[in-house]
Amino acid sequence: MSTFVVFDLEFTSWPDALAQDWSAPGQLREIVQIGALRVREDHTIVEEYETLVRPTVNPELSPYFTELTGISQEQVDRGGLAPAAALGEFLAFCRGHGVLSYGNDMVVLGENVGWARARGEEVKNGFLDASFLNVRPWVNSLAPQTASANVGRLWKVLGLPKPFTGEEHSALFDCYSFAAAIKHLCATGATLPEGCLRGQEPPRH
């Protein structure tokens, strides 16, 4: 059965960073958390991926970021992977699949891969082995009420049951919210954009 991946990122932020497009000196969109789900075309979840990542340029998380995401400095220091390792793992999870985001998270992913390589670090696996697609325009066109909603709030805006434990701005929770929205829209007769169903579920032994 064909499968696809949905993913979400949490990355370093500060008050007004979004409005200023991270243009203040020293502010970069360094990934702190990656969440992803591998999903069958019948919308059942096959596999989860989640990891914390240790920022390099700004290793100390801002209080704003911690309050927004619930991710503490201690959690990242204790359990976070080095960026190159985390990015390589995630790209391996995506290999051969259509990889869907609600927004341009693939741009942030590319920035972080570029920074790691510029530091001389090896990022195993690469973008060419997967097809990254921003399906936010597809979701918003089918459900205009979602236009101003972030990914972790899609389930609520669409009137769906809470899909997972936790809250928005946790990468894995946001993935479950995203997957629930896609399932709902497909159940109403919508078809995923071309290129989403590239992958195949690995054979069971």
- Domain 2-135+187-195 fold is Nucleotidyltransferase; domain 5 (3.30.420)
Distance between CA 59 and CA 82 in Å, rounded? 11
Domain spans, the chain: 2-135+187-195
Distance between CA 137 and CA 152 in Å, rounded? 16
Element (H, E) at 105: helix 105-118
pLDDT of residue 158: 98
Distance between CA 98 and CA 57 in Å, rounded? 31
Q: Could you list the pLDDT tens digit for every one of the 205 residues in the chain?
A: 899 999 999 999 999 999 999 999 999 999 999 999 999 999 999 999 999 999 999 999 999 999 999 999 999 999 999 999 999 999 999 999 999 999 999 999 999 999 999 999 999 998 888 999 999 999 999 999 999 999 999 999 999 999 999 999 999 999 999 999 999 999 999 999 987 887 676 655 4
Residue 62 DSSP one-character state: P
What's the start-to-end Cα distance of the chain, in Å? 15
Which among 202, 165, 137 has a CA at the least distance from the CA of 50? 165
pLDDT of residue 197: 83
